[in-house]
Chains A and B, each alone.
Chain A
Amino acid sequence: MAGLLSCLTTALAGCGASAPTATSGQVPAASGQLPADYRPVPAGRSAAYRLPAVSPAVARRAAISGLRCTNVTGVSYGIHLELYAHRLVLPVPAGIGVAPPQRRAGAYVRSGACTYPLRTSEPTGVVIVGRAAVSGARPGVPSLGTLFAVWGQPLSSSRLAGFRGTVRAFVQGRSWRDPPARIPLTRHAEIVLEVGGAVPPHPAYLFPAGL
């Protein structure tokens, strides 16, 4: 019973197992083996997993959900977005919210004809939230739905880009019960969306300087 009670107090941490998080703790020093809780997930390889960055509205440089395409590139902060479909990574491309012609450098999009205050410059899931998104014509914290509107991809409780099914959402590792489009893009938010299978979500992301 004492053991069970002890387990009860630590169950959420793995009942005695080391459960390092993204921001604390050290990896157990087992040689030659990855820790049990570091389980990589590969990216999907089919066409459904290769989403275009530029939507028709961005290509036209049209206003989207109150956001305009401008040459103002001020950065307010970053958020990190991870997408999974059928337990495979659905990559978030570089160049979302950057109107063509885009200037690329390898995997990175450096600039474009104009940019929206919600955009990506690298294919890592890091989303730049520009100053205009939080203090522009519609001041406040933008939502994930607005980002997907800029991207031109569907997002609802039953649809994630081209994938249909129940969409599970997590913010900072915690389950989000409301429609995923309502998730606020607050500073350093770690957002995980999943459809077609569960992947335990990350609680945090270490952002580069300047974001």
Chain B
Amino acid sequence: MMIRTQILFPPDLLESARLYAASRKLSLSELVRHSLTTKIKPKKKMSFYVAMSRLSKIMSKKKIKVPADFATNDKYLYQRP
């Protein structure tokens, strides 16, 4: 499925784009799609386990002691250490 949208171009760029597309037997839409596809690549996501392991290491360096029930007790949401 394609979605119609509007893009504003400076006149010079539009002319260059049309010429470039024509020289390669592409429509302007095809050229824009192809250009954006190569420019915008989805970033590969790291595993959440790896991400949280990194955070755990950063936290460990701070050497902060927390209460034993810190993870389970909601009172620490509002209670300052």
A, B in one complex: no
B interface, CB within 8 angstroms of A? none
